[in-house]
Amino acid sequence: MSEGDFEGYGGRHVPEPLEEPLEQLANAYDEIKDTDAFQAELDKLLRDYAGRPTSLYHAEGLSERYGAEIYFKREDLLHGGAHKINNALGQALLAKQAGKSRLIAETGAGQHGTATAMVGALLDLDTEIYMGEKDVERQQMNVFRMRLMGAEVNEVTRGGAGLSDAVDAALEDFAKNIDDTHYLVGSVVGPDPFPRMVRDFQAVIGEEAREQFRERTGELPDAAVACVGGGSNAMGLFHAFRNDDEVAFYGAEGGGEGAGSKRHAAPLAEGEDDVIHGMKTRVIHDDTEVHSVSAGLDYPGVGPEHAMFREVGRCDYRAVDDESAKAAFRELSEEEGIIPALESSHAVALAKEIADDHDTILVNLSGRGDKDMEQAAALFDLA
C-alpha cells in the first residue's frame, strides 16, 4: 500500500495543474513533520494556544442512565470550541515553513473556518474562507468570528450552497494561486497528502485519550465513538487504537430525516464508491439530497481511510437521524451541564444506542454547542 492509498481508496485524482503542487506539499510534509524544530513549535502552540491536553471526563449521570461507563474526550474545551484547531495549527506552521503567505479553507459549521482564521491571525497569513450560503445563514456567529479575526468570508451560492460547494470553490482558488497559497483542508478528505496529514495532526486526540483512559481505569475502552463528517475527529480518535482489536470503533454519520428518507449525509452507511474532491471514497451521488441538521456533517463524501475501515469491517458506521441528535444535545445539556455541538451530539446518540453492547465507551466530544444556540433556541423554544 503506497502513501495516500488506503487499499484502493484515496489517491490523487486531480486535474494536471494540481499534481505538481500536491507533490511538493507531500514532500514538504514528509520532510518537515518529524523534525524536532517543527514538533517543538507545534507542541508548544497546542499546549499554550489551543489548550492541550484536553480532559477525559467520566459522565456519571449518563453512565447510570444507560448502564455503561461513558467517558468523554473533551475536545469541546479547546480554543475556538472544536478539534479543528489541532489540524489548523499543524498545517499553518507547515505552510509558513514552505514560504506561503496566504491560507484558504472551506468550512461547513464554521468551526474549521474559525480555526483557520485564528491561525491566520496568529501567524500573520492572509486568510480567505469559502462557506456555502446555507451554512452562512445557520452558523452566523462563526462568520462574525472569522471576520473579526481578519479573514475574508466568501459566500458560495452554486449547487446546494453547502460544504461540498465550498470545497469546489476552494479547490479552484488553490489551482489558480498555487505559488503563494496553502489550501488548509479541514478534514481527512481530498487528494493525498491531505487525508494522512490531517489524520496525523488530529491523532493527538486518541494518543492522549488512550493514555488517560488506561491511567484512569487500568484498561482500554470497549468501544470508541465519534461523529463523521469528513471524518477528522473520528480518525483522530481511532488512530491510536487501530491495532487494539479489543476496542470496537463506531462512526456516527448524519442520518438526516431518518429511516427511509433519501435526505441524509451518510456515505459510509448508505453511499457508493466514487471519486469526489480528488479522492476515491464513498459518496452520496445526488448532491441536493445531502442533509443533516448539523452543518459540519452535511457532506456527500468522506475520508478515504474511513472507506477502507468500512470495507475491512474495522468500524461500524451508522446513520444517526436529526431527531436522535437533537435529543442527545438536550440530554447532555440537562444531565451533565455540557452543551455539545450538534455534530458531536450524533456521537452521543450513537453511544446511547450501543450502551447495551459494551461496558465502557469512549466518546469524542468534538466541539461545543455555542455556535448552535440560535438553532437550539428555535428547536427547543428557549426564547
Q: Which residue has the cell 497569513?
A: 125
Q: Between 109 and 143, whose beta carbon lies closer to ligand PLP?
A: 109
Site string for ligand PLP, 348-367 (x = CB under 6 A): ------------------xx
Task: Please pick, among 69, 73, 84, 371, the residue that the annotation labels catalytic.
Answer: 84
According to CB under 6 A, which one of 127, 181, 232, 345 is a site residue for ligand PLP? 232
Nearest one of 141, 212, 49 to 368, comparing CA atoms = 141
Q: Does 228 bind ligand PLP (CB under 6 A)?
A: yes
Closest to ligand PLP by CB, 106 vs 331, is 106
343 near ligand PLP, rule: CB under 6 A: yes
* From 109-117, 167-175, 214-222, 261-269, span contacting ligand PLP (CB under 6 A): 109-117
Which residues in 178-207 contact ligand PLP (CB under 6 A)? Answer: 187
Cα(74)–Cα(366) distance, rounded to whole angstroms? 7
Q: What is the DSSP letter of 258?
A: -
Provide the 3-class DSSP secondary structure of residue 45: helix
Residue from 59, 169, 227, 247 touching ligand PLP (CB under 6 A): that is 227
Long-range contacts for 57-63 (Cβ within 8 Å, ≥24 apart)? 57/338, 58/216, 59/332, 59/335, 59/336, 61/335, 61/336, 62/331, 62/332, 62/335, 62/336
* 232 catalytically annotated: no
Contact between 292 and ligand PLP by CB under 6 A: the answer reads no
CB of 100 or CB of 199, closer to ligand PLP: 199
Residues 156-175 that bind ligand PLP (CB under 6 A): none
The helix/strand/coil state of 98 is coil
Compute the least distance from the CB of residue 185 to ligand PLP, in Å: 10
Is 233 one of the binding residues for ligand PLP (CB under 6 A)?
A: yes
Cβ within 8 Å of residue 138, ≥6 positions away: 295, 374, 375
How far is residue 323's CA from residue 346's CA, in Å, rounded to a whole number? 10
Report whether 378 contacts 137 (CB < 8 A). no
Residues in contact with ligand PLP, shown as a per-residue x/- string from 67 to 106 under the rule CB under 6 A: ---------------x------------------------
The correct pick among 229, 267, 271, 301 for binding ligand PLP (CB under 6 A) is 229
Cell numbers given for 244:
487494539
Q: Specify the residue, 135 or 331, whose C-beta has the smaller distance to ligand PLP.
A: 135
- Residue number, 227 or 266, with CB nearest to ligand PLP: 227
- Per CB under 6 A, the list member of 42, 62, 109, 156 interacting with ligand PLP is 109
The residue assigned the cell 449547487 is: 159
Task: Assess contact for 239 and 203: CB atoms under 8 A.
Answer: yes
Q: At closest approach, how far in Å is the CB of 229 from ligand PLP?
A: 3
The DSSP bridge pattern shows strands 126-132 and 102-107 to be parallel
Q: Write the CA distances from 254 to 59, 115, 136, 184, integer angstroms.
A: 24, 22, 19, 24
Q: Does the annotation count 84 as an active-site position? A: yes
Sheet containing 5-6: give its strands across. 5-6, 9-10, 279-283, 272-276
d(CA 238, CA 249): 7
Question: Does residue 106 carry a catalytic annotation?
Answer: yes
Interaction between residue 369 and ligand PLP (CB under 6 A): no
Q: Which is nearer to ligand PLP, 103 or 178 (CB)?
A: 103
Binding-site size for ligand PLP (CB under 6 A) equals 21
Selected catalytic residue, list 69, 73, 75, 106:
106
Q: Provide, rounded to whole angstroms, the least separation between the CB of residue 364 and ligand PLP.
A: 9
- 383/380 Cα distance (integer angstroms): 9
Within residues 295-324, the interface with ligand PLP by CB under 6 A covers 296-297
**Binding residues vs ligand PLP (CB under 6 A):** 82, 108-109, 111-112, 187, 227-234, 296-297, 341, 343-344, 366-367
Catalytically active residues are 84, 106, 366
